[in-house]
Amino acid sequence: MTEHEMNVIKCRIQLKLSGLNIKATFVRVEEGPVVTTFYYILDFNVPIAKIINKEEDIAISIGVESVLISRKGGEIAIAVPNADRKIVPFDRCLFDLITSP
Q: Give the Cα separation of 15 and 83 in Å (integer).
A: 21
| pLDDT at residue number 27 | 95
- Tell me the average confidence (pLDDT) per consecutive run of 10 residues in the chain, 101 residues long: 89 92 93 92 87 91 92 91 79 79 65
| pLDDT at residue number 92 | 72
The pTM (predicted TM-score) of the whole model is: 0.82
| pLDDT at residue number 26 | 95
Q: Give the Cα separation of 58 and 56 in Å (integer).
A: 5
- Is the Cα torsion angle 26, 32, 36, 37 positive or negative in sign? negative
Identity of the residue numbered 93: C
Q: Give the Cα separation of 96 and 20 in Å (integer).
A: 39
Q: Domains, the chain, ranges and CATH?
A: 3-99 (3.30.980.40)
Q: Give the Cα separation of 35 and 85 in Å (integer).
A: 8
Q: Give the Cα separation of 98 and 12 in Å (integer).
A: 38
| pLDDT at residue number 101 | 65
Per DSSP, the three-state class of 46 is coil
